[in-house]
Amino acid sequence: MNCQLKERPVCRLAGDTGLIVEFGEEIDLDINQKVRTMAAAVNHIKPDGLIEIIPTYRSLLFIYDPVQIQPKNLIALIEELESTIDTGGEHDVRLIEIPVCYGGEFGPDMENVKASSKLDTDEVIRLHSQPEYPIYMVGFTPGFPFLGGLDERLFTPRLTTPRLVVPAGSVGIANNQTGMYPIESPGGWQIIGRTPLTLFAPKRKNPFLYKAGDNIKFIPISQDQFEQIKQEENM
Amino acid sequence: MDAIKIIAPGGYSTIQDRGRFEFQNMGVPLSGVLDHFAFDAANILVGNPDNTPVMELTVMGPSIEIHKRMDIALTGAKMGITVNTMPVAQWRSIRVNPGDMISIGQVQAGCRAYLAVSGGFDVPQVMGSFSTYAGANIGGFKGRPIRAKDVLKTGDAPLLKTERVLPQKDIPIHPTHVTLRAILGPQDDYFDSGIHTLFTSEYMVTAKADRMGYRLMGETIPIRDGKPKSIISEPSIPGSIQVPADEQPIILLVEQTVGGYAKIATIISSDLGRVAQTTPGDMIRFEKIDLETAHSLIYEEKNKLKRIQKYFIP
């Protein structure tokens, strides 16, 4: 299914140290997979002067040092890689399980989602915890995953007035997206549950539990299990 | 060892280095100093290696009690500094001794000043950087701006053999009306008449101006007919001029990660420090330049620093 992929990527300048290479114009698993394959291939080559590659839904943002490398060199590299590597094949995808205690004090907007979907709590939980959600991109705050594949029946618009404080670990829905708040921050997503896991631990060797390209599955847990895991996390 | 004690913290004072580069793909903003020239100059003036953490001061400087003999330098915005109530100059090394009281005042020109100390501020490195990102409570001093009664350590470093004074001609001025150079894109194709508007009208810095971004006010910049009002969310780089639904531009800075609006143009690296030195009420004009010119300005900037370095270490 490569029909959405463009013949040639679109390149855009982002100032004098950034280059955006777009592989498509929509949120789509194939396009996103191509983005990640290309990111991995470029990271493998690590051309001098390339400071960082940031994968997005449908593009790559290259941050470069113009003293060492020019956008035209990066574009040439991408074109060369496009003709030599297979970006459409099957890939090993890591599945990351995230325990979530739904509803109650951890899910203050469960009622909104129930009202909007005309489903009961159990059905909302079942539909939300069933899919393996692909992580398209990580951003907004450290470790915030933008997930695809939310069941249509759960689509719920953002809160009309965003909260000033959403607790760390909160799991929410915004229109056709679902995601988690790794750190306490303001936010307008409909919060339906919370994970006891520490999603962003700056002092941990790997501060994050997942990256773009992994899949996430939510595992419903009870409040007791929540407290137990939370305690283990804090040890 | 304990080197300084904060008596009053000033407006918003944080420890910063050049930024946290390796985790931008995980939603960790770059952070770091906003005015790179002032940062580099401050470290050179006290004899520190490149990218030593300094304190970025905003609008109002702190009052500090000195516990250790060392060299300090204050660069960037003009705030005025006194040692035991005696005024001393900025953009030069100042030898201080235990018991000295340093007071840095209210900004008179510019917005952000940089305080370097010999050996640098001794704070733990978090994810490859000393920079404070208060939004996630990481880096710098306890992940937050400094407060009264905080006691900060500095690294051990030899004192300067001779004092260092930056030549007057290399000291930037901070006018209230600035022209910032920018390159079109990344989403200039989302605009038509708005491009002309951006480069011909004047924009005022609003009160919503911080390390995340500067909201400007002026002529509206409409999205062209047939283009969506937003884009698929993507990361932004500092200096991006984003146009949200109210059609008033926002200059995105170092604590912004992902944005969902089209970016009409991007301020060149060499002018980013000048954004950071504007304050609410200041007026900004934009001038369009091409990539090649922007890159040659980066070389010029690097050469200027090399020249300054050579001036002190021939």
Which residue on chain B is closest to A185 by alpha carbon?
A: B135
Residue-range domain boundaries for chain A = 10-84, 95-234
Confidence of residue B220 (pLDDT cuts 50, 70, 90): very high
The rounded distance, in Å, linking the Cα atoms of B86 and A203 is 43
Pick the residue of B23, B25, B289, B292 with the most A CBs within 10 A to test the interface with A by mutation. Answer: B25
What's the CA angle centered on B282, arms B281 and B286, to 5 degrees?
Answer: 130
Report percent pLDDT > 70 for chain B. 100
Does B300 lie at the interface with A, CB-CB under 8 angstroms?
A: no
The number of C-alpha atoms within 13 Å of B279 and in the hemisphere containing its C-beta is: 16
Cβ distance A56 to B233 less than 8 Å, yes or no, reads: yes
Q: How far apart are the first and last CA of chain B?
A: 31
CATH 3.30.1360.40 assigned to A10-84: yes
Chain B residues in contact with A52 (beta carbon < 8 A): 21-22, 24-25
Residue A131 Cα distances to A171, A216, A225, B79, angstroms: 15, 8, 22, 57
Cβ distance B137 to A57 less than 8 Å, yes or no, reads: no
pLDDT at B134: 96
Chain B residues in contact with A26 (beta carbon < 8 A): 232
Q: Does residue A3 surpass a pLDDT of 50?
A: no
Cβ distance A15 to B183 less than 8 Å, yes or no, reads: yes
Tens of pLDDT along A37-91? 999 899 999 999 999 999 999 999 999 999 999 999 999 999 999 888 776 655 6
Which residue on chain A is closest to B260 by alpha carbon?
A: A140
Of B127, B187, B237, the CB nearest to A17: B237
Cβ distance A140 to B258 less than 8 Å, yes or no, reads: yes
Which residue on chain A is closest to B22 by alpha carbon?
A: A52
The answer for B 137-176 residues in CB contact with A (under 8 A) is: 137-138
User: Do the interacting molecules here have an ipTM over 0.90?
Assistant: yes
Pick the residue of A12, A13, A16, A65 with the most B CBs within 10 A to test the interface with B by mutation. Answer: A16
3-state secondary structure chain B: CEEEEEEECCCCCEEECCCCCCCHHHCCCCCCCCCHHHHHHHHHHHCCCCCCCEEEEECECCEEEECCCEEEEEEEEECCEEECCEEECCCECEEECCCCEEEECECCEEEEEEEEECCCECCCCECCECCCEHHHCECCCCCCCCCCCCEEEECCCCCCCCCCECCHHHCCCCCCEEEEEEEECCCHHHCCHHHHHHHHCCEEEEEEECCCEEEEECCCCCCCCCCCCCCCCEECCCCEEECCCCCCCEEECCCCCEECCCEEEEECHHHHHHHHCCCCCCEEEEEECCHHHHHHHHHHHHHHHHHHHHHHCC
User: Mean pLDDT in chain B?
Assistant: 96
The rounded distance, in Å, linking the Cα atoms of A217 and B274 is 46
Does B246 lie at the interface with A, CB-CB under 8 angstroms?
A: no
Of A53, A58, A61, the CB nearest to B232: A58
Of A61, A142, A208, the CB nearest to B235: A61
Contact call for residues B126 and A203 (beta carbons, < 8 A): yes
Of B136, B263, B266, the CB nearest to A141: B136
The answer for B 15-74 residues in CB contact with A (under 8 A) is: 21-28
Which residue on chain B is closest to A69 by alpha carbon?
A: B295
Does B217 lie at the interface with A, CB-CB under 8 angstroms?
A: no
Pairing relation of β-strands A50-55 and A18-22?
unpaired
Beta bridge mates, A50: A64
Residue-range domain boundaries for chain B = 2-170, 177-302
Of B26, B138, B269, the CB nearest to A16: B269
Contact call for residues B140 and B123 (beta carbons, < 8 A): yes
Which residue on chain B is closest to A140 by alpha carbon?
A: B258
Beta bridge mates, A97: A217
CATH 3.40.1410.10 assigned to B177-302: no
Q: Please name the residue that has the structure tokens 């304990």.
A: B2
pLDDT at B254: 96
pLDDT at A88: 60
User: Mean pLDDT in chain A?
Assistant: 91
Tens of pLDDT along A166-188? 999 999 999 888 999 999 988 89
Average pLDDT for residues A215-233, to the nearest whole number? 96
pLDDT at A233: 86
A24 to chain B, minimum CA–CA distance in Å? 11
Beta bridge mates, B23: none
Does B135 lie at the interface with A, CB-CB under 8 angstroms?
A: yes
Which amino acid is located at B36 in the chain?
H
CATH topology of domain A95-234: Cyclophilin (2.40.100)
Chain B residues in contact with A144 (beta carbon < 8 A): 27
B64 to chain A, minimum CA–CA distance in Å? 30
pLDDT at A27: 87
Buried b / exposed e along B31-55 (16+ C-beta atoms within 10 A): bbbbbbbbbbbbbbbbbbeebbbbb
Q: Does residue A209 surpass a pLDDT of 90?
A: yes
Which residue on chain B is closest to A165 by alpha carbon?
A: B135
B26 to chain A, minimum CA–CA distance in Å? 5
Chain A residues in contact with B293 (beta carbon < 8 A): none
Report percent pLDDT > 90 for chain B. 93
Average pLDDT for residues B199-224, to the nearest whole number? 96
Q: Which two tokens stand for residue B281?
A: 């009420």
Cβ distance A58 to B183 less than 8 Å, yes or no, reads: no
Which CATH architecture describes the domain B2-170?
Answer: Sandwich (2.60)
B247 to chain A, minimum CA–CA distance in Å? 20
Cβ distance B267 to A18 less than 8 Å, yes or no, reads: no
Average pLDDT for residues A109-128, to the nearest whole number? 97
CA A34 to chain centre: 15
Q: Does residue B227 surpass a pLDDT of 70?
A: yes
B43 or A80, greater pLDDT = B43
The rounded distance, in Å, linking the Cα atoms of B31 and B28 is 8
Chain B residues in contact with A141 (beta carbon < 8 A): 27, 135-136, 257
pLDDT at A2: 39
Pairing relation of β-strands A59-64 and A133-138?
unpaired
pLDDT at B259: 84
Average pLDDT for residues B288-302, to the nearest whole number? 97
Q: Please name the residue that has the structure tokens 């260092």.
A: B164
Cβ distance A14 to B269 less than 8 Å, yes or no, reads: no
Average pLDDT for residues B108-131, to the nearest whole number? 97
